[in-house]
């Protein structure tokens, strides 16, 4: 009796084990079922090729099978293209492969200038007359390059320099007088006289210090004031140089901005050591011989080496946009030069996202950085340089902001899928022709299509990656019959 109970228990255990194994296999069917289908597809494909080889060319053209009834070669769903037709539609054939799809937000955008950085207004530091202009509009110049020479007519500056020189002269006279009195015997000259001279010298030193500060406020530098004091000459002409670009893209004026004409040769070596930056003379607003006032704009320089791309996102995309900015996701930009060519700029980084929504359009702006490139650099016979930047403010493009990643997906270009009503098709290469295969589209955007991995396509299948729409039209024309070439002609 004990033996019979043990035998029954073993049977139940065996049944439970079979059920458990079956349940586990069914639960992971998405992993092993496509592999089994692909294996049978390769076996059937080899069998079909062997059979086609043994039965002749005609049987071979009608007997291709890729392991699935939808891949069977039928004349109504098969298309053979000539070499000319392949070139006409720009046919590209590639293999299907599982990859990671990056779902993106496609946002219209425009290249814009960096506010407060791209444009620089060069103003006249003092009132004067422009005697020389060393730049022309549209020219590319370097930081530290001489732009204008101005002859000073600023009355206050002339008077300030004159008083400064006069005070220096009076101070020298006072110093000589004190030195002379100190040499005389103390019995002859009273100490009171020397003390009065000392007080007068102190007053002149105080006046001289105040006049130095006044010259500094007029725009002169410490070096220039020292030159006035040592050479005893007024500054008659000032030179205006292009500003220098320092570290961190912070623009700063060269030291000194205004220089005497006689100092050009002395500062030539120092200017070559400074960090330089390329500028374009965007707008030249003066002419030679023109009288300019202090603060008047002489020209506008533009530095296009660094720009922004301004995206116009919808308000409902704000959460995904902020998440991408927090994660420092790399943004791509698509620039379409024409219908046949487009350029993709990868690796762009967020600069910032605007903290307000435009009330009129309900759009939210955000900015990414763009490093520009020089496409052409030309020097004219008279020594002027002209450059053409690749990216220009005002150009329109589209930004692709990644918001989600899907792994192990069949991703195809948008031109690889043709739509006919509710059906989507791809064209599978089968020898010297293409078989139309229906597929299920899980997701699509402006550039890519995600195909369901349901056995319609397998990794390694060669398909047409472009021209699917033209091939679908050709297949429909083929099904409708050829057109009589003599129709409408009277012979």
- Sequence length of the chain is 491
Task: State both tokens at 130.
Answer: 């422009």
Domain boundary among 403, 425, 456: 403
Q: Are residues 395 and 419 in the same domain?
A: no
Structural domain span for residue 91: 79-99+404-478
Q: Are residues 294 and 316 in the same domain?
A: no
Are 122 and 303 in contact by the 8 Å Cβ rule? The answer is: no
Token code pair at residue 317: 């995309």
E-strand stretches of 113-145: 119-123, 128-133, 140-142
- Main-chain phi, psi angles of 296, to 5 degrees: -75, 140
**DSSP for residue 195:** H
CA distance 441 to 420: 13
Q: Where does residue 240 rank: exposed (0-12), middle (13-18), buried (19+ CB within 10 A)? A: buried
Quick one: which of 313, 332, 326, 323 has its CA closest to 401? 332
CATH number of the domain at 356, please. 2.40.30.170
Of the three residues 372, 403, 434, the one that is the final residue of a domain is 403
**How is 366-396 classified by DSSP, letter by letter?**
EEEEEE--EEEEEE-TTS-EEEEESS-TT-E
Token pair belonging to 395: 């150009």
- Rounded to a whole number of angstroms, the distance between the first and last alpha carbons of the chain is 105
Chain CA centroid to CA 474, Å: 41
Query: In angstroms, rounded to a whole number, what is the distance separating the alpha carbons of residues 144 and 274?
Result: 8
Is the residue at 205 inside a domain?
A: yes
User: What letters, b where the CB count within 10 A reaches 16 and e where it falls short, cover 421-439?
Assistant: eeebbbbbebeebbbbbeb
Domain boundary among 353, 382, 403: 403
Intervals of the chain under pLDDT 70: 1-11, 26-74, 185-190, 245-277, 338-341, 481-491
- What region does 347 belong to: left with phi over 0, alpha with psi -120 to 50, or beta? left
Has residue 186 been placed in a domain? yes
DSSP code for 423: E
Q: Where are the alpha helices (DSSP H) in 311-386?
A: 318-326
In a domain, 64, yes or no: no
Would 334 be classed as within a structural domain? yes
Q: What is the pLDDT of residue 109?
A: 95
Q: Are residues 293 and 440 in the same domain?
A: no
Per-residue pLDDT at 267:
41
Q: Round to whole Å and give the CA distance between 430 and 256.
A: 76
Same domain, 83 and 220: no
Same domain as 239, residue 164: yes
| CATH code for the domain of 417 | 2.40.420.20
Q: Are 105 and 401 in contact (CB under 8 A)?
A: yes
Do 381 and 347 share a structural domain?
yes
Specify the 3-state DSSP secondary structure of 163.
helix
Number of folded domains in the chain? 3
Structural domain includes residue 279: yes
Examine the domain organization and report whether 84 and 178 are in the same domain. no
pTM, 2 dp = 0.63
Nearest to 107 by CA among 446, 449, 450, 448: 446
Instruction: Give phi and psi for 439, each to the nearest 5.
Output: -135, 165
Residue 320, domain member (yes or no): yes
Residues 398 and 470 occupy one common structural domain: no
Residues 221 and 313 in one domain: no
The answer to whether residue 456 is domain-embedded is: yes
Judgement on whether residues 408 and 464 belong to the same structural domain of the protein: yes
The verdict on 131 and 279 lying in the same domain is yes
323 and 184 co-located in one domain: no
- Residue 444, pLDDT score: 87
Under DSSP, is residue 211 helix (H, G, I), strand (E, B) or coil?
A: helix
Distance from the Cα of residue 26 to its chain's centroid: 50
Residue among 161, 138, 128 nearest 295 (CA): 128
Nearest by Cα to 110 from 453, 455, 465, 399: 399
- Asked if residue 252 belongs to a domain, the reply is no
Angle at 354 between CA 348 and CA 360, to 5 degrees: 120
């Amino acid at each position: 009796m004990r033996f019979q109970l043990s035998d029954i228990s073993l049977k139940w255990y065996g049944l439970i084990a079979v059920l458990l194994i079956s349940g586990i296999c069914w639960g992971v069917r998405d992993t092993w079922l496509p592999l089994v289908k692909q294996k049978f597809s390769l076996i059937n494909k080899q069998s079909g090729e062997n059979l086609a080889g043994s039965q002749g060319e005609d049987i071979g053209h009608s007997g291709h099978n890729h392991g699935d009834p939808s891949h069977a070669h039928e004349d109504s769903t098969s298309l053979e293209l000539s070499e000319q037709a392949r070139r006409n539609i720009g046919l590209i054939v590639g293999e299907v492969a599982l990859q990671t799809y990056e779902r993106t937000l496609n946002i219209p955008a425009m290249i814009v200038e960096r506010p407060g950085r791209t444009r620089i207004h060069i103003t006249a530091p003092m009132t004067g007359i422009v005697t020389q202009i060393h730049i022309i509009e549209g020219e590319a110049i370097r930081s530290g390059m001489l732009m204008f020479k101005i002859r000073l007519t600023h009355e206050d500056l002339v008077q300030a320099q004159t008083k400064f020189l006069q005070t220096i002269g009076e101070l020298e006279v006072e110093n000589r007088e004190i030195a002379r009195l100190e040499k005389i015997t103390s019995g002859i000259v009273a100490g009171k006289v020397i003390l009065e001279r000392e007080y007068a010298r102190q007053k002149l030193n105080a006046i001289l210090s105040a006049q130095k500060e006044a010259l500094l406020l007029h725009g002169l530098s410490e070096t220039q004031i020292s030159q006035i004091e040592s050479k005893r000459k007024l500054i008659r002409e000032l030179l205006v140089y292009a500003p220098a670009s320092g570290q961190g893209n912070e623009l700063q004026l060269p030291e000194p901005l205004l220089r005497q004409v006689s100092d050009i040769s002395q500062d030539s070596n120092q200017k070559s050591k400074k960090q330089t930056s390329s500028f374009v003379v965007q707008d030249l607003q003066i002419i030679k011989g023109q009288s300019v006032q202090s603060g008047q704009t002489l020209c506008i320089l533009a530095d296009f080496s660094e720009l922004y791309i301004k995206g116009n996102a919808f308000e409902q995309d704000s959460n995904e946009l902020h998440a991408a900015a927090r994660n420092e996701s790399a943004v791509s930009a698509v620039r379409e030069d024409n219908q046949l060519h487009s350029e993709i700029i990868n690796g762009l980084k967020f600069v910032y996202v605007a903290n307000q929504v435009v009330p009129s359009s309900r759009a939210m702006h955000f900015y990414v950085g763009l490093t520009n490139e020089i496409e052409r650099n030309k020097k004219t016979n008279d020594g002027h340089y002209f450059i053409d930047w690749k990216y220009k403010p005002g150009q329109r493009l589209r930004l692709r902001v990644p918001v989600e990643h899907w792994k192990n997906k069949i991703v195809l270009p948008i031109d690889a899928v043709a739509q006919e009503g509710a059906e989507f098709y791809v064209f599978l290469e089968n020898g010297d022709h293409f078989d139309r295969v229906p597929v299920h589209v899980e997701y699509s955007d402006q550039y890519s299509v995600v195909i369901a991995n349901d056995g319609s396509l397998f990794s390694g299948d060669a398909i047409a990656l472009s021209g699917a729409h033209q091939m679908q039209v050709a297949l429909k024309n083929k099904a409708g019959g050829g057109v009589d070439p003599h129709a409408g002609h009277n012979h």
